[in-house]
């Protein structure tokens, strides 16, 4: 009977009904506390549902029974990764590889962490080893393609994406990656993509990914009407897969503006905080997605005194820990030690990633939410706010799957409302923080890159360095949606890109007027 229940749970798990499967595993584990197979299944289900503490507890129980169970180390390593402890996670994955050197999944897990730590060459080595161990493992080919693309090797990346698709021809993520790397062909690939879309029965997100791929393919062929029809359907499908009310974000941002007054910021501001002595000067690059944050980071990151760190999740993670003990927005309830705890957690995260240098960049765009906190916790920080034509920004967001918490992105009206809330909050930060924020416009950067680069470096109190303008010499991996564009150097091709879709985005145009 119990064997039948395990089979039932496994079937549920394989068809995406993971919460039902986990409920069965939990019930069975009450009677079979030392069943390692059940514990492993439960840990993987809990991991899938982002129940990280539960997943880790099952993994630790497995290791008590079987200390050489590589899968348990993998589970715990993934939990550590999402808990913001990449080096601890890496040790777990290294242990898994030592215990099971022929396990390709451990190599994939290791590569993912190494990419996060900006050690992409090592990541590529592990991915190549995974393919050697499991040549028919589609995800290994896909991840290698992703890593190669981040390094700027698009021809090799495209070949890997195509290998992944040859193994799993209906995988929406693979098609989307290939298309956004400019690797699809209208005549050769549209029919296979239609077949892939039809195969996604009951999986709106996967079908949406294929439609995003069709959009990118049609756009390159300048079939703009058909392209936007695919894009609109893709966004509608993706939006149907989750519940979201933009008014919650509007209220949250309004509360932030109400709470972080000029008086509060001055009262909490410190001249010296102990955790700052061991860290460089942070350069926070913020703004809406698709506003030019990657380009700005590439310019500044080329400076010999600056370490380029990309989109760090450290600040949001540190804030979330403190918010769990307080009203989610009302920071007036915070005490001095709460602000210092955020700063210390952030500094510890930098140490965990071995961030060196006099200056470093953090280009997580949505850190615009936390500028008041940055002012209090990091008095030395520089803040660069990236701006761009609002219509180009909103269309740029609408044409991507941003993932994460960007739930506002998949409906034109919702997107406009979120953009206005962002503008109101940024206007507040400018009022209460004065000259501590530098506005940089994307259009100015591409028109006069040296002038704008000099202005940014001067704001950061950095001397001029000619190499800042040589973007193609920047070998740092870029994993954002701008990875393709930034490798093309500084150009003006994407100015007023929205005009080709003007008839189809009236909601955005009128909403932003």
125-163 per-position pLDDT tens digit: 999 999 999 999 999 999 999 999 988 899 999 999 999
Extract long-range pairs of 139-148: CB within 8 Å, 24+ residues apart.
139/108, 139/164, 140/104, 140/107, 140/108, 141/167, 142/171, 142/173, 142/174, 142/177, 143/108, 143/111, 143/112, 145/177, 145/181, 146/177, 146/479, 147/111, 147/115, 147/120, 147/123, 147/477, 148/124
Indicate whether 206 belongs to any domain: no
Q: Which of 279, 287, 266 is nearest to 376 (CA)?
A: 266
pLDDT at residue 476 is higher than 80: no
Q: What's the CATH code of the domain at 447?
A: 3.40.50.300
> Does residue 386 belong to any structural domain of this protein?
yes
The whole domain housing 494 covers 264-499
Q: Are 30 and 42 in contact (CB under 8 A)?
A: no
Q: What's the chain's average pLDDT?
A: 90
312-368 per-position pLDDT tens digit: 989 988 888 877 776 545 666 777 788 888 888 999 889 888 888 899 999 999 999
- Is 414 inside a domain boundary? yes
Distance from C-alpha of 140 to C-alpha of 119, rounded to nearest angstrom: 17
Mean pLDDT of 172-186: 96
- For 171, the 3-state DSSP assignment is coil
pTM beyond 0.75, yes or no: yes
Residue 259 has pLDDT above 70, yes or no: yes
Bridge partner list, 440: 386
Indicate whether 295 belongs to any domain: yes
How much is the pLDDT for 186?
95
**What pLDDT score was predicted for residue 338?**
84
* Total structural domains within the chain: 1
Please identify which residue in the block is written with the tokens 């506005």. Answer: 439
Query: What are the two backbone dihedrals, phi and then psi, of residue 285, each rounded to the nearest 5 degrees?
Result: -110, 110
Residue 138 in tokens: 């589609």
Residue 73: Cβ within 10 Å count? 27
- State the pLDDT at residue 471: 80
At residue 206, does pLDDT exceed 90?
A: yes
Q: Does the pLDDT at position 276 exceed 80?
A: no
What is the reported pLDDT for 270?
A: 62
Asked if residue 369 belongs to a domain, the reply is yes
Of 286, 310, 256, 295, residue with least CA distance to 472: 295
Q: How many helices (H) and strands (E) does the chain have?
A: 26, 5
If residue 125 lies in a helix (H) or strand (E), which one and from where to where? helix 120-133
pLDDT at 479: 58
**What is the per-residue pLDDT for 271?**
52
Considering 114-123, 162-171, 236-245, 373-382, the range whose residues carry the highest mean pLDDT is 162-171
CB contact at 8 A, 290 and 389? no
pLDDT the model gives residue 319: 87
Provide the pLDDT for residue 474: 64
pLDDT digits (tens, 9 = 90+) for 6-45: 888 888 877 778 888 889 889 988 888 898 889 999 999 9
In a domain? residue 289: yes
Give the tens place of pLDDT for each residue, 363-407: 999 999 999 999 988 989 999 999 999 999 999 999 999 977 899
Per-residue burial over 488-511, b if 16 or more Cβ lie within 10 Å, else e, is eebeeebeeebeebeebbeebbeb
Q: Is the pLDDT of residue 477 over 70?
A: no
- Give the position of tokens 């995406």: 16
Residue 434's SS3 state is: helix
Calculate ∠ Cα 458-464-467, nearest 5°.
Answer: 130
What lies within 8 Å, CB to CB, of 413 at 6+ separation is 507, 511
Q: How far apart are CA 374 and CA 284, in angstroms?
A: 9
Inside any domain, residue 166: no
Is residue 128 in some structural domain?
no
């Amino acid at each position: 009977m119990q064997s039948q229940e395990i089979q039932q749970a496994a079937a549920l798990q394989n068809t995406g009904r993971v919460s039902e499967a986990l409920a069965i595993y939990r019930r069975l584990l009450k009677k079979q506390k030392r069943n390692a197979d059940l514990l492993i299944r439960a840990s993987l289900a809990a991991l899938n549902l982002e129940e990280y503490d539960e997943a880790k507890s099952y993994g630790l129980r497995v290791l008590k029974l079987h200390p050489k169970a590589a899968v348990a180390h993998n589970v715990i390593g993934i939990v550590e990764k999402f808990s913001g402890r990449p080096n601890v996670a890496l040790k777990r994955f290294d242990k898994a590889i030592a215990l099971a050197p022929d396990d390709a999944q451990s190599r994939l897990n290791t590569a993912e962490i190494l990419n996060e730590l900006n050690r992409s060459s090592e990541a590529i080595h592990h991915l190549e080893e995974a393919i050697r161990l499991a040549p028919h493992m589609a995800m290994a080919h896909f991840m290698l393609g992703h890593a190669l693309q981040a390094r700027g090797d698009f021809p090799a990346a495209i070949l890997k994406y195509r290998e992944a698709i040859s193994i799993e021809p209906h995988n929406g993520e693979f098609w989307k990656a290939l298309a956004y790397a400019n690797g699809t062909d209208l005549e050769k690939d549209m029919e296979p993509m239609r077949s892939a879309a039809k195969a996604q029965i009951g999986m709106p997100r996967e079908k949406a990914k294929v439609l995003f791929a069709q959009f990118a393919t049609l756009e390159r062929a300048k079939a703009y009407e058909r392209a936007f029809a695919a894009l609109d359907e893709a966004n509608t499908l993706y939006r149907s897969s989750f519940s979201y009310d933009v008014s919650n974000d509007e209220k949250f941002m309004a509360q932030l503006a109400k709470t972080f007054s000029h008086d509060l910021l001055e009262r909490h501001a410190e001249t010296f905080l102990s955790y700052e002595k061991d860290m460089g000067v942070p350069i926070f690059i913020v703004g809406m997605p698709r506003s030019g944050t990657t380009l700005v980071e590439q310019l500044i990151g080329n400076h010999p005194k600056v370490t380029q760190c990309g989109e760090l999740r450290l600040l949001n993670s540190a804030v979330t820990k403190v918010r769990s003990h307080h009203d989610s927005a009302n920071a007036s309830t915070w005490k001095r030690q709460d602000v210092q705890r955020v700063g210390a957690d952030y500094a510890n995260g930098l140490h965990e990633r071995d961030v060196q240098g006099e200056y470093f960049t953090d280009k997580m765009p949505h850190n615009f939410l936390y500028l008041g906190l940055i002012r209090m916790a990091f008095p030395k920080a520089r803040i660069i706010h990236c701006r761009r034509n609002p219509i180009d920004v909103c269309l740029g967001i609408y044409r991507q799957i941003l993932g994460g918490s960007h739930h506002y992105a998949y409906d034109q009206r919702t997107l406009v409302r979120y953009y206005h809330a962002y503008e109101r909050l940024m206007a507040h930060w400018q009022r209460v923080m004065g000259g501590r924020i530098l506005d940089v416009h994307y259009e100015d950067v591409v028109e006069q890159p040296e002038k704008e680069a000099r202005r940014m470096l001067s704001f950061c109190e950095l001397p001029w360095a000619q190499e800042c303008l040589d973007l193609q010499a920047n070998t740092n991996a870029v994993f954002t949606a701008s990875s393709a564009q930034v490798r093309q150097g500084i150009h003006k091709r994407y100015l007023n890109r929205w005009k080709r879709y003007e008839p189809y985005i009236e909601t955005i145009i009128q909403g932003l007027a």
